[in-house]
Amino acid sequence: MLFTDLIEKKKKGLALDTEEISFWIKGYVDGTIPDYQVSALLMAIIFQGMDDRETLDLTMAMMHSGDVMDLSAIEGIKADKHSTGGVGDKTSLVLGPMTAACGVRLAKMSGRGLGFTGGTLDKLESIPGFQVGLAPEDFVRQVNELGIAIIGQTGNLVPADKKMYALRDVTGTVNSIPLIASSIMSKKLAAGSDVIVLDVKYGQGAFMKTVEDARKLAETMIRIGRGAGRRVRAMISSMEAPLGCAIGNALEVQEAVMTLMGQGPQDLVELCVTAGSLILTEAGAAEDMAVAKEMLEKAVADGSALQKLEEMVKAQGGDVSVIRHPEKLEKAPCKTVVTSDRNGFINGADALALGRLAMQIGAGRATKEDDIWHDVGLVLNAKPGDHVEKGDPLVTVHHRQALTDDWMQALKGAFRIDPEAGELPPLIMDIL
Ligand code: URA
């Protein structure tokens, strides 16, 4: 088989067959097919697309390019959740303990933040001592014993995606629904869970800028997952504004803990309860969404969800005292409150701008090699839909270094404040 024939075929808009896709992925991982040839094929896919059969074949070939987690030693149904990434998205820290407290095991491998999007591992590492690097056998044991573990990728999972995502990043070939769907789903399938709930975000602070594209991506990922024999559901949710109020690692852990104490922001609670209800119903632990919601709310009200978080933190070496006393988490030395310069309704808080501004003061990474500061970030004092008076606090900046005038201007510019209340999009647009 010649790789140039695959490039020619895709250039003409023809579908690659199963053997050709397997030849591509094997050859790329073992180094016999070079980057420049794969780049040409990826660019042809950007323009010509892939059909469902090709997308599933690509996902399966990537999934089997390395280790596949064997979770069969874990009793019962195992669930996983994936968010396509956003600003202030600390859902896993809340949702995992809630579903585990309701008896559904969450076996989750998470990633680090890059650019304006945060990563669950960075958030967890703001808890002193917390270890994200568990061996596969310890991961399985912990999920069995406690019902929850959240770790970094373990073993040699999906090396094809690692190599190809890095190539896509520098060749303008990230933005293709079949390529994004196969990249995400190959990792989810290799991680081994039976139930997968996807939170596909749209808006300024998301990968997919429109609801239509988010829906197409969600539908493609659902078809892949079901084609591979897993139970998959998806939510289409808004990332026009940050989720919750906190952006930044320790600040988000604090907000997650407060949410498990029953004092969370309304949007974060709604997203966690909806995702959790999808997990409980798909896992067969609740007969419908209403029953699931009741179970999850009870797990927060009776403290069992918070206790699950404590158990996980303890098992993974973290300082458990910060869970009951989140004010003990690391604190940035400086705090600056930014106030509104007019009266009006907040009709927008630009998630992309706020995510980038938080990254610039050290909460996130511009490149994979950058260090981050766990204690810095932003806390919104007012959210879209709120009314503010001139002089009311808009956002509190937790920082280590002096803030420049340009940065402060950009921060104020991220809020749209109008005399009249505007129409705000619903947080959850659809459930598939
Ligand atoms: N996230 C992934 O894991 N892969 C993509 O291709 C895009 C986002």
Q: Look at residue 68 and tell me if it is in a domain.
A: no
Q: Look at residue 139 and tell me if it is in a domain.
A: yes
**Positive or negative torsion for Cα 7, 66, 89, 432:** positive
**Cα separation, 347 vs 421, whole angstroms:** 7
Among 112, 187, 215, 233, the active-site one is 187
- Is 168 an annotated catalytic residue? yes
Residue 313: closest CA among 326, 303, 304, 322: 322
Residues 260 and 204 in one domain: yes
Q: Residue 174 CA: which ligand 1 atom is closest?
A: 6
**Cα separation, 377 vs 141, whole angstroms:** 35
Alpha helices per DSSP H over 49-157: 52-63, 91-101, 120-124, 136-146
- Amino acid in position 151: I
**Phi, psi of 72, deg, nearest 5:** -65, -20
Q: Look at residue 131 and tell me if it is in a domain.
A: yes
Q: Look at residue 60 and tell me if it is in a domain.
A: no
Q: Look at residue 424 and tell me if it is in a domain.
A: no
Last-in-domain residue among 324, 348, 380: 324
Q: Look at residue 70 and tell me if it is in a domain.
A: no
Q: Which residues pair with 7 in a beta bridge?
A: none
For 360-388, the DSSP string reads HTTSS-SSTT----TT-EEEESS-TT-EE
Q: Three-class SS of residue 291? A: helix
Instruction: Specify the number of domains making up the chain.
Output: 3
Output the CA–CA distances (angstroms, integers) from residue 277 to 91, 193, 293, in the order listed.
13, 17, 6
161 Cα–ligand 1 center, Å: 9
Q: Residue 184 CA: which ligand 1 atom is closest?
A: 3
* Eight-state DSSP code of residue 223: H
- Is 298 an annotated catalytic residue? no
Residue with CA nearest ligand 1 atom 3: 184
Burial (0-12, 13-18, 19+ Cβ within 10 Å), 282 = buried
108 Cα–ligand 1 center, Å: 17
CATH code (residue 16): 1.20.970.10
Residues 315 and 335 in one domain: no
**Cβ count near 93 (within 10 Å):** 24
- Largest distance between two CA atoms of the chain: 69
Q: Extract the tokens encoding 174.
A: 């990230």
**Cα separation, 44 vs 15, whole angstroms:** 11
Residues 313 and 335 in one domain: no
CATH code (residue 360): 3.90.1170.30
Pairing of strands 195-202, 344-349: unpaired
To test ligand 1's pocket by mutation, which of 174, 185, 186 has the most ligand atoms within 8 angstroms of CB?
174
Residue with CA nearest ligand 1 atom 2: 184
- Is 72 an annotated catalytic residue? no
Q: Angle, nearest 10°, between helix axes 18-30 and 3-11?
A: 130
Residues 242 and 104 in one domain: yes
Residue 119: closest CA among 153, 70, 142: 153
Residues 88 and 196 in one domain: yes
pTM: 0.90
**Cα separation, 258 vs 254, whole angstroms:** 6
Alpha helices per DSSP H over 191-329: 211-227, 249-260, 266-282, 289-301, 304-315, 321-324
Residues 219 and 346 in one domain: no
Last-in-domain residue among 281, 299, 324: 324
Residues 230 and 291 in one domain: yes
Distance of CA 313 to the CA centre of its chain: 20
Residues 244 and 337 in one domain: no
Kindly list the protein residues whose Cβ atom lies closer than 6 A to any atom of ligand 1: 165, 174, 179-180, 183-184, 207
381 Cα–ligand 1 center, Å: 32
Q: Extract the tokens encoding 150.
A: 């959240």
Q: Look at residue 61 and tell me if it is in a domain.
A: no
Residues 229 and 344 in one domain: no
Residue span of the structural domain in which 340 resides? 330-418
Last-in-domain residue among 324, 357, 384: 324
Q: Look at residue 67 and tell me if it is in a domain.
A: no
**Cα separation, 409 vs 340, whole angstroms:** 12
Q: Extract the tokens encoding 427.
A: 């947080």
Residues 349 and 370 in one domain: yes
Per-residue tens of pLDDT for the chain, all 432 residues: 999 999 999 999 999 999 999 999 999 999 999 999 999 999 999 999 999 999 999 999 999 999 888 888 888 899 999 999 889 999 999 999 999 999 999 999 887 777 777 789 999 999 999 999 888 889 999 999 999 999 988 768 899 998 998 889 888 888 899 999 999 999 999 988 899 999 999 998 888 889 999 999 999 999 999 999 999 999 999 999 999 999 999 999 999 999 999 999 999 999 999 999 999 999 999 999 999 999 999 999 999 999 999 999 999 999 999 998 988 888 999 999 999 999 999 999 999 999 999 999 999 887 778 888 999 999 999 999 999 999 999 999 999 999 999 999 999 999 999 999 999 989 999 999
Residues 99 and 30 in one domain: no
Dihedral angle over CA of 377, 329, 89, 141, nearest 10: 150
- Is 187 an annotated catalytic residue? yes
Residue 225: closest CA among 407, 11, 398, 432: 432
Residues 194 and 107 in one domain: yes
